[in-house]
Amino acid sequence: LNPGKEADYTCKIIILGDKGVGKTCVIQRFTDNVFSFNQMPTITMDIKSRLLYVNGKLCKLKIWDTAGQERFRSITSNYYRGSHGVIVVYDITDKKSFEHVTRWMDNFDQLVKDDVIRLLIGNKSDLKKERMVKEHQGQKLAKEKRMLFGETSAKENINIEHVFMKLVKEIIDKN
Ligand code: GDP
Ligand code: MG
């Protein structure tokens, strides 16, 4: 992989969901393969990127992390503009964060009329004993909302790569 080479595609992906569900950790696991227990709250808008090959093409993913404005109405259409993929994350040990997925998607749909590929992530799958949301509940919601779905653990590095690949493949197929 030659990092100086222009990518064949550049994709903008945005990530939504309640504070504390692990959005920043999921992104960091995917882009840098690290995990932090004391992840600082995201203060400024952060864009992380990663190059990867999909179907023989080099793709540059730019992933936009929310800047502590993790309330539905505080996210502006500027943030959403031009996105190819949207990820909504909930925490499988936090029922409220799961119930809020619908509001995150409704807010997104109000501001964005384009066809954007959607992915629902149930994160912290390593915390099995504290689970409050069953996997099939996540699957069902994703189906209703026409979203791809997967449970992940940023901590244990479970399924992160796989869900991102599903999203990117779908984005490339549809564009
Ligand atoms: P954000 O507010 O959605 O960006 O959440 P953060 O990425 O800052 O993570 C919030 C907290 O959850 C931090 O203490 C992380 O260490 C923790 N966390 C994130 N992902 C996981 C995970 O997969 N498993 C566990 N057990 N903890 C996680
Ligand atoms: Mg964060």
Q: What is the pLDDT of residues 104-155, one digit of tens each?
A: 999 899 888 888 999 999 999 999 999 999 999 999 999 999 999 999 999 9
Q: What does DSSP assign to residue 158?
A: B
Give yes or no for residue 50 CB within 6 A of ligand 1.
Answer: no
Q: Phi/psi class of residue 92: alpha, beta or left (left: φ > 0; alpha: ψ in -120 to 50)?
A: alpha
pLDDT of residue 43: 62
Question: Which tokens sit at 46?
Answer: 């952060």
Ligand 2 (ion): residues with CB under 5 Å are 23-24, 42
pTM more than 0.90: yes
Q: Atom of ligand 1 at shortest distance to CA of 153?
A: 23
C-alpha distances (whole Å) from 48 to each of 16, 73, 138 are 15, 24, 26
Mean pLDDT of the chain: 89
